[in-house]
Structure 1
């Protein structure tokens, strides 16, 4: 007997395979640069803000308390990486990929990850208000305990994503693909592009937050009882 889609146990993202032995990174030797290759390295308390790098590759790396604020990357590849307590605010990342990655307790305020591919990625306890993920694809990705106020997922493929205990107030989902996207214990008040949630799986307790957005999309006026 088949299990209903809404009750199937969703696959957990694969954990990063970070080597036990890592080379300690330092500046200027390991600064970001075009076509740079960074493998099995530990970046700790390093400021990599306001850099520009094309086709950089990161494999088996750990970043702790590292700043990327305002840094721009194009066609970057991040494989088997961990980012803990990092500042990724106002980053500009385009046409890049992240595979087997964990981003925890980090700040992504105002960051823009456009046309990117996320596979087996966990965002845990991150502040990502005003972050943008336009035209990006998510395959086996979890946003857990994240603040995503007014985050932009316009035209994103979220069919492989789930949101757990996230605040998505005012988030934008216009033209997103969301069949099978899961929301659990999330705040969904005031989201835009609510009609794109067709096929999404939402807990009953979360659905109340969609009432006004759905009514607005359907031209329904909700009046308070007199």
Structure 2
């Protein structure tokens, strides 16, 4: 259980937070590439200006969670319900996510092209 903690300018490469419970936690300017949060429970957790390239965010429980200006390229978000999660100012070329988990997720028009393949559509 991690409660009321702020990680600032931390190098969290490959850190394993799997099955943890994070409440009132903020990550600012952190390098969290390849970090693992698999099956974690997030309540009031924020990521700002973080690199989470290839992070494992599989099957998260998300309550009042935000990602601001983060690099989520190739992150695994499968099984994590993203309803109400705003990824519009995040950077990614691809995410591993299930189409049903995207319901209600907020993205930018530019990011929408990343999800076209999941829908089986072809852009001409």
Q: TM-score, normalised by structure 1?
A: 0.51
| Runs of 4+ residues over 6 Å off in structure 1 | none
1:139 aligns with 2:43: yes
SS in 1 for 2:47: strand
Number of residue equivalences: 123
Partner residue, 1:221: 122
Partner residue, 1:150: 54
Q: Find the aligned partners of 2:94 and 2:87 in 1 and give their Cα distance.
A: 15
Partner residue, 1:174: 78
Structure having the larger proportion of residues in strand: 1
Q: Find the aligned partners of 1:162 and 1:149 in 2 and give their Cα distance.
A: 16
Q: Find the aligned partners of 1:183 and 1:218 in 2 and give their Cα distance.
A: 19
Describe the superposition over 1:115-134 as per-residue Cα deviations: whole angstroms up to 9, x where unpaired: 11111000000000111111
Partner residue, 1:14: none
Partner residue, 2:113: 211
Structure 2: gaps spanning 5 or more residues: none
Report how far residue 194 of structure 1 moved. Answer: 4.9
Q: Find the aligned partners of 1:194 and 1:125 in 2 and give their Cα distance.
A: 28
Q: TM-score, normalised by structure 2?
A: 0.89
Structure 1: gaps spanning 5 or more residues: 1-96
Report how far residue 184 of structure 1 moved. Answer: 4.4
Contact 1:120-1:139 within 8 A present in 2 as well: yes
1:200 aligns with 2:86: no
Contact 1:157-1:178 within 8 A present in 2 as well: no
Give 1 or 2 for the bigger CA radius of gyration. Answer: 1
Contact 1:189-1:210 within 8 A present in 2 as well: no
2:8 to 76, 97, 104: 104
1:190 to 75, 94, 101: 94
Q: CA RMSD in A?
A: 1.6
2:65 to 141, 147, 161: 161
